[in-house]
Amino acid sequence: MAEILISLRKEIQKFEKSYSIIPEERKQLLKQLAVFIDRKHKSGEPACLIFICTHNSRRSHISQIWAQAAAAYYNVEEVKCYSGGTEATAFNPRAVKAMNEVGFSIVKTDESENPRYEVHLGVTISPLLAFSKVYNDPFNPSTGFAAIMTCSHADENCPLVIGAEERISLPFDDPKEFDGTPQEAEKYHERILEIGREICYAFSIIHIDN
């Protein structure tokens, strides 16, 4: 097990006690992700994952970051996680704040309209660079990756993800719907835990149930 932040290790250990609440139909989608990663691992290739939603501002970043943390926790090597959108905006500060509150260490490195963030998962793990971009930005891999569609809008309006070896539909509800409401903090927290639980479940079944 990689030395991820203690706060993240504790959160994933909580997830492990609640994997049973994930609906069976979701588990089948998550199994597709596990099978892709395992196939790449067995072929000696890195498993590149691009998590995609329309604006690359919330769900795709949340999924990407949890996936890299899950790979470290479950010691699944050579997994490289990215995110992108059908358009670029910015990593939403509400999502950044909520991710920090569940145990991540996400630090803004500039003050531009589309700021870059360093995501620290552990002392011995290279930080992720997070910023909003289109899915086919040069920063991301261009071939051989799995495209994981984290929002239904992108899934429906981007029928072809050029370069993807596999496409997996894994939509989550958008916490943006609660921006500016009394439920905002609660709903962001709820969505981050839901995404984290499902992504970590996928990594937990690699080499076990595929």
What confidence score (pLDDT) does residue 210 get? 39
Residue 86 lies in a domain: yes
Residue 177 lies in a domain: no
The model's pLDDT over 107-141, given as tens digits with 9 standing for 90+, comes to: 999 999 999 999 999 988 999 999 999 999 999 99
Residue 180 lies in a domain: no
Residue 83 lies in a domain: yes
pTM as predicted: 0.96
The model's pLDDT over 50-82, given as tens digits with 9 standing for 90+, comes to: 999 999 999 999 999 999 999 999 999 999 999
Structure tokens at 25: 């139909």
Our count of domains for the chain comes to 1
Residue 195 lies in a domain: yes
What confidence score (pLDDT) does residue 177 get? 95
What confidence score (pLDDT) does residue 153 get? 78
Average pLDDT, integer, range 79-107 = 96
Residue 210 lies in a domain: no
Helix or strand or coil: residue 66?
Answer: helix
Buried b (16+ CB within 10 A) or exposed e, 2-16: bebbeebbebbeebe
- Model confidence at 1, pLDDT cuts 50, 70, 90, reads low
Residue 1 lies in a domain: no
Task: Identify the domain containing residue 54 by its residue range.
Answer: 6-172+185-204
What confidence score (pLDDT) does residue 209 get? 42
Residue 179 lies in a domain: no
Residues near 126 by beta carbon (within 8 Å), at least 6 away in sequence:
none
What confidence score (pLDDT) does residue 56 get? 96
The model's pLDDT over 137-183, given as tens digits with 9 standing for 90+, comes to: 999 999 999 999 999 877 777 778 899 999 999 999 999 999 999 99
Q: What is the CATH number of the domain that holds 136?
A: 3.40.50.2300
